[in-house]
């Protein structure tokens, strides 16, 4: 971590108005967070690829559709729920369509809008994939934490998410790109 202390020292000398650098303890927390979330996402992705032939992002899209009334959502709402760009969603839905798991329908009230609809085949794939996915989430995360740690983690992630979710008009959000 020598390079880091050199960067911090350099910026202290360069300007009193420089960035507020992370402390050594904060740096450890940050890097632990990055390490854990990267490993967890990879772990989930590999399990779903192996057991269901889909990446984790596709599983999340199928879950969102399954939980929606009529198993359908407007594409813009699905992109917002998944926190991804419309372009990435369009690509993902095209792949899900190719598998027969999702179909697109035009929106009757808005000629430009489309719905993504979970098919019966997609629901069946989701039903088969869910038990293994839930078991992995439980083993990888919840079984490693006490109930108090689980509660704290939930509270912390809620605070972080709320702070990152801008409410102002014109915000640069993935689903608006």
Taking the chain, what is the end-to-end CA distance rounded to the nearest angstrom? 37
Q: Could you tell me which of 87, 174, 95, 128 has the C-alpha nearest to residue 104?
A: 95
User: From CA 68, how far away is CA 63, in angstroms rounded?
Assistant: 9
pTM of the predicted structure, to 2 decimals:
0.82
Mean pLDDT of the 114-142 span: 96
Percentage of residues in the chain having pLDDT higher than 70: 85
Which of residues 169 and 84 earns the better pLDDT score? 84
CA-to-CA distance for 7 and 140, rounded, in angstroms? 36
Q: What is the predicted pLDDT for the residue at 111? A: 75
């Amino acid at each position: 971590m020598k390079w880091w202390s050199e960067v911090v020292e350099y910026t202290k000398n360069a300007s009193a108005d420089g960035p507020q650098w992370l402390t050594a303890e904060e740096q450890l927390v940050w890097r632990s967070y990055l390490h854990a979330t990267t490993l967890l996402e990879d772990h989930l992705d590999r399990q779903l690829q192996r057991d269901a032939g889909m990446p984790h992002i596709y599983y999340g899209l199928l879950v969102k559709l399954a939980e929606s009334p009529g198993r359908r959502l407007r594409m813009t709402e699905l992109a917002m729920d998944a926190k991804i760009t419309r372009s990435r969603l369009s690509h993902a839905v095209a792949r899900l369509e190719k598998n027969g798991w999702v179909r697109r329908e035009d929106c009757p009230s808005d000629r430009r809008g489309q719905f993504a609809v979970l098919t019966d085949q997609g629901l069946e794939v989701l039903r088969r994939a869910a038990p293994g996915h839930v078991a992995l989430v439980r083993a990888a995360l919840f079984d490693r934490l006490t109930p108090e740690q689980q509660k704290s983690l939930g509270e912390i992630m809620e605070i972080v998410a709320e702070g990152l979710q801008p409410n102002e008009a014109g915000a640069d959000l993935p689903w608006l790109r």
